[in-house]
Chains A and B, each alone.
Chain A
Amino acid sequence: MKPAPFDYVAPAELSEAVSALAERPETSRVLAGGQSLLLLMNFRLERPTLLVDVNGVGALDTITVTGDALRVGALARHRAFETPAVAPGALGRLLSRVSPFIAHPPVRVRGTMAGSLAWAHPQSEWCATAAALDAVIELTGPSGSRAVTASDYFLGAFRTVRQPDEIVTSVELPLLPESDAVGVAFVEQHRTHLSFAQAAAVVALVLRDGAIAGARIGMTGAAVRRAREAEDWLAGREPEPAVLARAGELAAAAADPYQELHAGVEYKRHATGVVVRRALTEALRDAQDGRGRA
């Protein structure tokens, strides 16, 4: 479990990192937290010729509220989101419920949200979160920066629109509205606390006059990380158990899980429906609690 030989640069400026990456983009990799990349390199499944370590690039680790979004720098670690104070209101609550499910504490100390989105693991909690909230991913390459919404960003398992010469420099997560009763929840089925999710669901919903005014549902999967059919079904409906169950079924039908050890496609699809329904139920309770808080 030692990597094959590779070159290594650790620039202090983003522009230098972009230039380094541009020299041989197809065989270079960006090193942020390294919690997936280094594992694969140790197995020699990834054999980059150059690692561009961005950990020394200043100002990439900031998390700030800018306008109506939370702007998360490329070096913000998973553990920064363990506290609800990381963002105002329901967004902070949601992120702090997702973060503890990402691997275990040593991984959360190193790994980054931006890195998770760049890697696009099909079972990634942050990818499901970004999909649910339709986050905006900032990609910086030789010709400058561009912003891509999550709905356009994910192409499949480990596949995104990011070009090999681009770095994910930030992620913008929209703040959740404060005026209505907003409920958020995260439910995950995993084998052990070390394991990736077999199925996970991120839910944010808004209640108005006893009905669901709108719902966002992110889920684990490959190309399909958002349950749009289920969202459409819920809009305007009263949150009865049968309504939520139907949403779970719609999400399961839309999901595109893959076969893994001890969990076939059918199990994961079924489990996705269950966790979506449970997350909706929890979000509903969260919204009702939220009204009390407001």
Chain B
Amino acid sequence: MGVRGMEKLREVGGFVLPADSAPVSVRVPDAAASWRLGRREDARLITGAGRYVGDLDVPGCLDAAFVRSRVPHGRLVAVDTSAATATDGVVAAWTAADLGDEVPLVPVYLATPGSAHRPCPALAVDRVRYVGEPIAVVVGADRYVAEDGADAVRVDIDPLPALVDPGEAAASAVQLFDGLDNVVTDMEFGDPVPDEVWQRAAVVVEGVYRQPRLVPTPMEPRALLAVPEEDGRLTVWVSHQAPHRLRDDLAADLKWDPERIRVRVADSGGGFGSKSGTYAEYLVVVRLALRLGRPVRWLEDRAESLLASPQGRGQNQRVRLAADADGRMLALDLEVDADVGGYPVGAFVPGETGRAAAGVYRTPDVHARVRTVVTTTALTTPYRGAGRPEQVYAVERTVDLLARRLGMDPAELRRRNLVPPEAFPYESPTGRWFDSGRYEQALDLALELADYAHWREEQRRRREAGGAWPLGVGLCMFAERSGLEQKEVAQEWAAIDVAPGGGVVARVGTCATGQSHETVFAELVARTLGVPARQVTLVEGDTAEVPQGVGTYGSRSTQVGGSALHRAALELIEEAKRRAGPGASYANGVVTAGGRSRTLGELAAAGEPLRVEGVYAAPAAYAFGAYVAVVEVDTELGVVHVLRLVAVDDCGVRLDDEIVEDQVRGAVVQGLGQALYEVMPYDDEGRPQAADLLGYLLPTIGELPPLTLGSTVTPNPNTALGAKGTGEAGCIGTPPAVVNAVVDALGEPGIQLPLTPEECRRAVAGREAGVR
């Protein structure tokens, strides 16, 4: 099947870009005018009637529990499962040796140079590389028994030195993979900035930042249930964002035809990127089910999730920024050592940080060097934002450094350097192609909603009066790639069927983990066709119903999947008119030709099934935003009080304001978590230090700041729908805004994430000691 819409695109190095140099100006289609809806999902989810993987009642189902390494790095000498096998109720206890002649390897998200030489086995074979790495699995009649068995497995490991910090790991003589450097990939984006640019610049500022490791912590941890069917097929129930990729990965591992595997996504308690992969545990559980001929499930629990689930972020960053005396940015250099954990499964993520390096600024010389480094810690893979929050944090904190150095208002400094609307499509020095943006408009709105002038005045008043807690205002501006650039994922499959009774079934290859597709996509199709929404149902997340798809990640669902449904619906109207005969007209689900009017259902009843199916292309788009945080700091206790948080987001055309705002709210809270609370710390011996949610802190409802949301609308010029992505914006814009505000309050730029009371106290002590 050809990809529709590709004729309007050009391919450059595997990326698809719009063919026209100038973006097409679009009218916001009537179908996409924002509306307010109750969510179709809510009734079942909030009354406890949702059906998650853990709710599925399959007779004879066994539970799996994994034995995980407690040693961060070492040679695996022996694994003794005999006591586990002897435990009452245990059905099987496996090590890597039981997985077959070839131990399955965990598929990488995207191949990067060096990843193939550092394979990640589904169960450790002769080496362990992080605490939490699966070593053995025990299957029992229930999870209690399985854990009793796992408890009884004896593991003998000869420890090797731990490497916790990517910078140190890059320089260390200790190799995680014998004979191979710990640096997996060394990437460059843009040309190195010539020395004379730094020398002739009026000011050069430098910032050094640490991006903590974050745990995605969806409400429902990972979950998979493998059911061998009597006809030799396999059904896999899973909480997942990309069921087709999972199906294909499992088929590749088993050397099966993918048609033999049906992946079905149940209700999902969130993903945030952490449910997009094909994990070691999935490969093992599937093999167990097939070998034992019984359903086997693995329901990750919270402790396991904190220990062993893929994490996000984890970068050491160094940024240099040069400007002239008027604050015009001349050059930006970004160096990143990205911690990919024990195996480079998600090593493509930091590439986004480098490719996006310039941010929203028209800096002429931009260069980024990104090294991905293996360490003896849990894997890092895409987590909400996936490389973008890291980039924005590095740049936006440094822009504030520049403002301080120049004595310039940080809003004014940003304004002077924004890529102007007329410069789009804009190609950045690091090779990024931005479709559209009206950055200054977003900045103006954010400053207005925040009442920026008022808070600056209040800040001045407090500084003069003394005594009161210091107040700070922080800004963040960003552009966020939504959708993807690579051709094979810059597209989505969609189909629309009309039944003889008039019912419309829309199918699409995206897969919601909380993004309200059932509501929004059904309504989009209904409005495009002009039929009542109740006539339309959405089907996704079942590979038997949806033969192909890319999935839900990278803020792509509405931009790409929604656009595919929109175009399929428009094609369906054309098909209905063609069938009705020459001169046919269409309105509100009724096609009229030659004086005869028929509904879509009547048309479908009359002849061939009325169906449209296709794969529709949509290139990456660039949503953007401007955030403002106002904080005061209890300097005695080091506690940050966020007084006001303003988030202005432009995600193009919004199909549903309320649902977009809910996405933003959720992401803002995760961003607040990154700014103030969240980190998975490792001690020097490589042991993770937070075992539960008393140690790994998430913001709770009591920590939510007053939040003001605003929007501007700059339609996506490359789809008729005009939508861009929005799922990740809040956690991109919030951390730099909050941290910049705290730096503004305390005047201490050395502060690092997360801003714990102890960290803020250190900054206060530094200030009181007159260090700065």
Contact = CB atoms under 8 A, between A and B. Distances in A.
Interface in B144-167: 144, 147-148, 151
A161 interface: no
B14 interface: no
A184 B691 CA distance: 36
A4 B151 contact: yes
Contacts of B698: 192, 194
B695 to A, nearest CB: 5
Interface string A253-294: 000000001111001001100110000000000000000000
A271 B301 contact: no
B703 interface: yes
A5 B758 contact: no
A4 B148 CA distance: 6
Nearest to B702: A193
A5 B152 CA distance: 13
Given A263-B758, A267-B757, A191 B637 contact: no
Contacts of B144: 2-3, 5
Give the bracket for the number of chain A residues in contact with chain B: 20 to 34
Contacts of A196: 694
A146 interface: no
A204 to B, nearest CB: 23
A262 B762 CA distance: 12
Given A1-B301, A1-B302, A271-B757, A192 B681 contact: no
Contact of A189 (B148, B639, B690, B694): B639
Interface string B637-679: 1110000000000000000000000000000000000000100
B636 interface: yes
A191 B677 contact: yes
B693 interface: yes
Given A189-B757, A191-B757, A274 B693 contact: no
B757 A263 contact: yes
Interface string B678-705: 0001000000011111110111111100
A163 B694 CA distance: 29
Nearest to A262: B756
A1 to B, nearest CB: 4
A44 interface: yes
Nearest to B639: A189
B414 to A, nearest CB: 32
Interface in A1-60: 1-5, 39, 42-44
B303 A194 contact: no
Contacts of A194: 693-694, 697-698, 700
Contacts of B759: 262
Residue picked from A189, A194, A274, most chain B C-beta under 10 Å:
A194
A267 B703 CA distance: 21
Contact of A195 (B148, B691, B697, B761): B697
B694 A264 contact: no
B113 to A, nearest CB: 37
Contacts, number: 70
Contacts of A39: 692
B690 A274 contact: no
A261 B695 CA distance: 7
Interface string A84-120: 0000000000000000000010000000000000000
A170 interface: no
A264 B756 CA distance: 12
B438 interface: no
Contacts of B598: none
Contact of B677 (A1, A44, A192, A274): A192
A44 B761 contact: no
B233 interface: no
Contacts of B143: 2
Contacts of A42: 303
B83 to A, nearest CB: 14
B681 A261 contact: yes
Contacts of A262: 681, 756-759
A124 interface: no
B140 to A, nearest CB: 11
A262 B753 CA distance: 12
Contact of B700 (A44, A192, A261): A192
A275 B690 CA distance: 26
A40 to B, nearest CB: 10
A220 interface: no
Contacts of B301: 1
Interface string A179-206: 0000000000101111110100000000
B151 A44 contact: yes
Interface string B116-154: 000000000000000000000000000110011001000
A5 B700 contact: no
Contacts of A198: 757
B148 A191 contact: no
Nearest to B88: A5
A192 B147 contact: no
A1 B302 CA distance: 8
A261 B690 contact: yes
A270 B302 CA distance: 33
Contacts of A2: 143-144, 147
A47 to B, nearest CB: 10
A210 B701 CA distance: 41
A264 B758 contact: yes
B677 A267 contact: no
Nearest to A104: B700
Contact of B758 (A43, A267, A274): A267
Given A1-B301, A4-B148, A195 B758 contact: no
A267 B695 contact: no
A261 B691 CA distance: 11
A1 B66 CA distance: 12
A4 B693 CA distance: 21
B681 to A, nearest CB: 7
Residue picked from A3, A104, A191, most chain B C-beta under 10 Å:
A191
Residue picked from B147, B681, B689, most chain A C-beta under 10 Å:
B147
A44 B698 CA distance: 24
A36 to B, nearest CB: 11
B697 A192 contact: yes
Contact of B703 (A5, A104, A193, A261): A193
Contacts of A192: 677, 697-700, 702-703
Interface string A134-172: 000000000000000000000000000000000000000
B700 A193 contact: yes
Given A2-B143, A271-B637, A43 B695 contact: no
Nearest to B673: A192
A267 B148 CA distance: 40
A266 to B, nearest CB: 9
Nearest to A43: B303
A189 B695 CA distance: 16
Contacts of B703: 192-193
A274 B758 CA distance: 14
A270 B759 CA distance: 14
Contacts of B677: 191-192
A270 B761 contact: yes
Contacts of B147: 2, 44
Residue picked from B147, B689, B692, B757, most chain A C-beta under 10 Å:
B757
25 contacts: A3-B144, A4-B148, A5-B148, A42-B303, A189-B637, A189-B639, A189-B757, A191-B677, A191-B756, A192-B697, A193-B702, A193-B703, A194-B694, A195-B694, A195-B697, A261-B695, A262-B681, A262-B756, A262-B759, A263-B757, A263-B758, A264-B758, A267-B638, A267-B758, A271-B757
Given A267-B758, A271-B637, 15 more contacts: A1-B302, A2-B143, A2-B144, A4-B148, A5-B144, A42-B303, A44-B151, A189-B639, A192-B699, A193-B702, A194-B693, A196-B694, A198-B757, A262-B756, A262-B757
Interface of B: 143-144, 147-148, 151, 301-304, 636-639, 677, 681, 689-695, 697-703, 756-759, 761
By Cβ-Cβ distance, the 8 closest A-B pairs, closest first, are: A193-B702, A1-B301, A262-B756, A2-B144, A267-B758, A2-B147, A274-B636, A193-B700
